Each structure stands twice: as structure tokens, then as C-alpha cells.
Structure 1
Amino acid sequence: MLSSQDIEFFITVADSRSLAAAARKLNVTPPSVSQRLQNIERKLGVKLIDRNARLTSLTTEGEVLASKGQQLLKDLEHLTQDVSDKKLAISGELKLVSSLGFGEKHIGPLAAEFQSLYPSLRIELFLSDIPKWSAHNSPDIMFYIGHLQDSALKRIVLSKNRRLLLASPEYLKSAPPLDEPQDLELHRCIALRENDEDATMWRLTHIDTQRETSVRVVPVLSSNVSRVTKNWCIDGQGIIQRSEWDVKEELKTGKLVRVLPEYQLQEADIVALLSSDQFHRSQKVSAFLDYVKQKLPARL
């Protein structure tokens, strides 16, 4: 029978590129990792890791153990919290994932504020231009902006958000006319490559007629970092589409202006994604989620 320590050990191995990398994480020698892994495989009577390749990969049984084991550990943590006299104490580890720009500007500061309120809590924030939910090492909360493909996750809207087409006044002074979406093909366009979205297909809907138009732009500049693309736009390098929360200050100061304002882009609500429903969340997850819902609107 596997212990919780066995499961924690295997999840670390599953989340590592090699047994040597797992040994470094666990601060032990590679032979000891290999020996303990073999003991676990003997307990179960199945092979969990394919060691034929230079980099380890999980067998089908290994995939099941990593995925189910992660949930078992979370359930065990929740059970411990439920029967503990300190149920309301916010402690342990909280794992967060967020898109790069939004996480840097908003989730990072909110996480630091929250941790200062609960010193026994450890928060790990992972930022990525392509935030994904990992079955082997799933976060407690993932903050996401844009179209959501994985409908199995619980989705909580934190704030409504829309995307805008923008340019600098300096760029528009010498740019070709821009009256219809098709005119974008004659302009310098800047693409932000994030969330595995098609960054060069811009879809616009006329606000009054609801007529939809799709334009395939050929970006002269592209990046996976939103701050870089926004700075290019401010410097007069071309047209971008950005979330409204990220350009409020630039619109206010006139550094950027909206183009084709009679058209709207696809909405991109700011959401929190969780694997569990409200009745099965740990106290720390619920508390941080409530904190973000309370503080975030004032920051946007």
C-alpha cells in the first residue's frame, strides 16, 4: 500500500525532466531516487516510468498515479483542515498560475499583501505567456484572460474585460486611412502571442449591425510579452489589440487612442479557474479568492 510520502515522491519525479533532476529537487542522490521508485513499482506491480529515453517519461499507469495522486494529496489536506481545531487558520502552501502581464501587475502584489496577512502561508506564483493547467502539478488557482478551452475547470469571473484596437497619435499621422477592418491589411500590426491563441486572426464585430469580420494580419512585430508590444505601439510602430485593463493609463494620457471604435473585439473576461467547487475548496483557496475579488476591481 502506498503512503502519502510515496505519492509526494512520485509526483516530484513525474514533474521532473529526469531522475537526476528529481534527485536535485529532493536533495538526494540519483541512485536513491531510482531505488525508491523501483520499490513503489514493486508495491503496485506496474511500471511507472519509461527509462529507455534520455529523458524520463510516464507510462499510462504513471500518468494515472500522478494525476490521481495529486488529487488524493489535496483531499487529504482538506480532510486534515476539516477535522483540525485550527480549521480557520490560513497556512500551508498556495500555488498560483497566471498570465505574464496580468500576474506581474496585479496577482503578484495581491499575493504579497495576502501573505503578509497570514505569515504561516507560503505562496508560489508561476507566470507564463501560455498558462496551462498541469495534471501532474495542478495549481490551486489559475488566473486567465481570454477564451477558455478547458470546460472541466470551475470558472469564476473576477472582472469583465474587453479588448481594444489601439495606436499612437504619432503613428496615425502618417498611416493609411483606417475606416474598415479590411484596412488593417495596409497597416503595420503588432501581435501578442499568448494563451495559444491565433495571434494574427483579428475578429471584429460591428457594434450596431453585429456584422462579424475576420482579418488575417501579417505582424511586422510580435512578442509573447504584453509590455513589449504595448511599448512598441506607444513608440509609433503600429497597431495592437490589448485588454482594456492594461491600457487605461495610456488612454487617459493620450499616449494611445482607439481605432475602429465602432467595432468590438472578442471579450476577454478576467477569470479564476479551479478544479474544485465551492464546497470542496480549502480555507486558504477560498480566502485568497475572496481577497482577490474584493481588491481587484479597485486596481483595474
Structure 2
Amino acid sequence: MLTSDDLAFFSVLTGSKSLAESARKLNVTPPAVTQRLRALEEKVGVRLIDRSGRRLRLTEEGSLVASHSVIVSETIDSLAEALADRRGAVRGHLRVAAPHGFGRLYVAPVVEAFAREHGGATATLQLSDHPAALLVESYDVVVHIGAPGHLDQVVTTLAPNPRILCASPRYLDSASPISTPADLAQHRCLAVRENDEDVTLWRFKGPRQEMATVRVNPVMSSNDGAVIREWALAGQGIMIRSEWNVAEDLADGRLQQVLPNWKLPPADIVAMLGSRHGRSARTTAFLTMLRQALKPPPWQAACAEPGGQ
């Protein structure tokens, strides 16, 4: 009869490239791993792993045991987390996904603080160009900028994030005046091409709540917002970027807002939660810390400090 310890051991083996790697994960010697594997195979009466090559390969019976190992391991983890949640304990593995730039600046420090404060928990931060496209159920928290995707996701707003039309003083000093959104069609525009969004149709709401759209023909585009920002700073044209990304540039005069009385659709900072992780103690604790770190938004606070105007 296989025990949960046997299945946990075999789960480590199937997640490793070699017996030596398994030994490092289990903090034992390679001979100890080999001996335990032999004992496990004797217990079930079949060979579970083909060790003839350089890499570990599961036999057909080994694949069957591996699939059940995952189920049992997840069940045990879920039970332990449920019991921990009952007493408000923060434990288990926190999985967070976030965009590259924002995640590096504002999410990574909170993940570090979470791990420092909650010694019984571990954490992983996955930075992605498109975190909303990831399988939300695989993460406790997915930090996303802009409108969330699927309606069945649990979404909570972390911070407001206006989008700003801006350009460098060097470009604006040499360009023709811009008094309405329609004028942008005659200017050098820079676009971030993400997903399948129509990034060349720019939408505005005016001071009297009137709506305006303009189709721009970008002279330069990229799938990386940081690249677009550098091009704008170099005087290459006008761009739309999130406030968090350009607030310091605006405060220091490296960029100037264009058409300040015309508002673009916002791209708020939101957290998307997997349904089975939404009420875990670790998720609640992390979200509390993340909200505290983003209130008030640090990019606004930094620009309000002396010397930031």
C-alpha cells in the first residue's frame, strides 16, 4: 500500500531531470534516493522509472503513479491551507503575476516584504508582458493594468491610473500647435502594440464631456512600453502612457502633457483572483500589503516631494 510520503517522494522525482537533482531537492544523497526508489518499486511490484538514459523517463506504470501523486499532493495541500485559513495562519505558496515594468518597481518589493513578514509562506513572482493572458487559476493574484478580461474573474481595484498623452519639450517646441484631438492626425505619433487591441484609434473625452476619436498613423511602434517612452524622451513624437510610468518625467519636465483638458480612458491597476485562491489567508495578507503600498500611489507621492515639482 502506497503512503502519502511515497507519493510525495515520487512527485519530487517526476519533477526532476535526474536523481542527483531529486537528491538536492530532498536534501539527501543520490544513493539514498536510488535506494528509496528501489524500495518503492518493490512495494508496487513494477518498474516506475527508466534509468537507462541520462534523463529520468517514466514507464507507463510510473506515469499512472505520477498522475495520482499530483492529485494526492494537491488534496493534502488544499486541506492544510483550509485548516490554516480557519485559524488565520498565513502559509503555503503565494503565486503572483504582474507586468514587467510595474511588477519590478512596485510589486516585487511587496512580495519581498510579504516573505519577510510571513516566514511560514513561500512566494513566486512571475513577470509577464501580458499577465492577464495567463491562466488566473494558476495564481493567487494576477496584477493587471487596464480593463480586466473575463467577466467570471474576481477583480479588485488597487490604484487609479490615468493614461496621459505626452511628448518631450523638444518635439513640442518644433511641432505645429495641438488644440484638439483632430490635430494629432498631422503629428508624429508613437504606439505600443499589445495583444489585438486597436492601438491606432485614440479616444478622448473633452471638458464638456464631448467624445472625440482620431485615427493616428504611428511613425514608430513597439510591443515594449519602455521603448516607446525612450523614443518620446528622445523627441520622436507623441505617445499615450500610464501615469505610473511617466509621472516622474512630467514632474521633472522631461515630458509635457498634451491636451490636458481632454481625458483618455483610464487603465486602473487591478488584481485578478483565481476563484479557489480568493479567500486564502495568504492572498488576503498579500492584497492588504499591496493596497497599503499603493495608497497613495507612490508615483504621485514621489512627484509631490520637494524637488519633484
Alignment partners' CA distance in 2, 1:137 and 1:33: 29
Give the match for residue 288 of structure 2. 290
* Alpha-carbon distance in structure 2 between the residues aligned to 1:24 and 1:137: 29
Report the Cα offset of residue 271 of structure 1: 0.3
Cα distance change on mapping 1:200 and 1:8 into 2, 3 Å: farther
Using the aligned pairs only, state the percent identity. Answer: 34
1:220 paired to 2:228: no
- 2:169 is equivalent to residue 169 of structure 1: yes
Aligned length: 265
- Distance in 2, matches of 1:26 and 1:75, equals 28
SS in 2 for 1:265: coil
Q: In structure 1, what is the Cα distance between the partners aligned to 2:195 and 2:11?
A: 29
SS of corresponding position for 2:158 = strand
| Deviation of 1:194 (Å) | 3.4
- Partner residue in 1 for 2:58: 35
Distance change >3 Å, CA 126–CA 197, structure 1 → 2: farther
What residue is the counterpart of 2:144 in the other structure? 144
Specify whether residues 41 and 77 from structure 1 end up closer, same or farther in structure 2 by C-alpha distance, changes over 3 A only: closer
CA distance in 1, matches of 2:116, 2:262: 43
Contact kept? 2:136, 2:274, Cα under 8 Å:
no
Q: Secondary structure at the match of 1:297?
A: coil
Residue 231 of structure 1 aligns with which residue? 230
Q: Which runs of 5+ in 2 are unaligned?
A: 23-50, 300-309
Contact 1:94 1:285 in 2 (8 A): yes
Superposition RMSD in Å: 3.7
Q: Which residue of 2 aligns with 1:100?
A: 100
The residue aligned with 1:51 is none
What is the Cα deviation at residue 132 of structure 1? 3.5
Q: Given that residues 100 and 225 in structure 1 are in contact (C-alpha distance below 8 angstroms), is that contact kept between their aligned partners in structure 2?
A: no
- Post-superposition Cα deviations, 1:104-125, rounded to whole Å, max 9, x if no partner, equal 1100122112222223432211
Q: 1:101 to 1:196 in 2, by over 3 A?
A: farther
Confirm or deny: 8 A CA contact 2:85 2:280 kept in the other structure: no
Structure with larger Rg: 2
The letter for the 1-side match of 2:113 is: E
